[in-house]
Amino acid sequence: MMVVFSLPHLFGFLLAFARVGAVVALLPVPALKRAPAAVRIVLALALTLLTAPWWPSPELSLNGPYGAAGLGWRLAGWMLAEATFGVAVGLVVAILADAFSLAAQVLGLQAGYGYASTIDPNTDADSGILLILAQWSAWLLFLALGFDRVVVRALALSFSAQPAGEFAFSPASRAALLELTGTLFSTAVRLALPLVALLALVDLALAVFGKLNAQLQLLSLAFPAKMLVALGVLGLGFPVWARVFEGLARQAQATLMRVAAGV
């Protein structure tokens, strides 16, 4: 049995594949980023085939005023517009992890953990241990809260609300993305500021001890004291971090659904 694709159906598949492929390629999930390219291509193809009922069938002809070249340029423009949806999804998901990463970088510098580093399995770069801990904690919460399924639902909603070839950012969607980006910094400050203030009190206490005992070796005492305090407070504060992440994830979900629906 031979399956025949007409030109409109072929273009509909390419437009749908551009949207799904951009999401799969730009989604910053560590396990997905480290997967072989063939695995990601097969995943994108499978998700594209699942969206077959929503494939468009644009009225196209090779006999237009610009012939096949003009048709190719139109297709390229449409595919580029579809890829912007993947950029938006990748940005929203990255903000969830980057809020933890930014807070961890501030804490690592203040607590002295900046001197302890390891290889980041996601980028193969040398990174601080607190940064690695924060990133993987964020991704575990990402999966535990079911946000991976939220991304799939947003993708399905985007095809029903904005068929392939018609995706566009509404002013409300752009405003929601900008607001979520600003929330990244406020969330990082909320996470890091209490511990930074506590470490400042530790520095103040060590300074007082130094005045009381001039022979006290502050440099040899400050690093282990601040690292122990930071480690203890982080252990006690991780449940709070999880609740903060959940609140940020709800806002990210609302933004993602607004972008998908185009409202």
* DSSP letters for 233-262: HHHHHHHHHHHHHHHHHHHHHHHHHHHHHT
**Annotated domain spans of the chain:** 7-261
Is pLDDT at 118 greater than 60 in this prediction? yes
Assign 126 a pLDDT band (cuts: 50, 70, 90).
low
Is pLDDT at 148 greater than 50 in this prediction? yes
Assign 7 a pLDDT band (cuts: 50, 70, 90).
low
Q: What is the pLDDT of residue 130?
A: 81
Q: What is the pLDDT of residue 181?
A: 85
Q: What is the pLDDT of residue 1?
A: 47
In the chain, the percentage of residues whose pLDDT exceeds 70 is 84
In the chain, the percentage of residues whose pLDDT exceeds 90 is 0
Structure tokens at 36: 């072989």
CB contact at 8 A, 245 and 141: yes
Q: How far apart are CA 54 and CA 213, in angstroms?
A: 76
81-112 tens-digit pLDDT: 888 888 888 888 888 888 888 888 888 877 77
Q: What is the pLDDT of residue 231?
A: 82
Structure tokens at 154: 């947003």
168-198 tens-digit pLDDT: 777 888 888 888 888 888 888 888 888 888 8
168 or 199, which is more confident: 199
Average predicted confidence (pLDDT) for the chain: 79
Rounded CA Rg of the chain? 24
CB contact at 8 A, 17 and 55: no
Q: How far apart are CA 180 and CA 172, in angstroms?
A: 12
Q: 66: helix, coil or strand?
A: coil
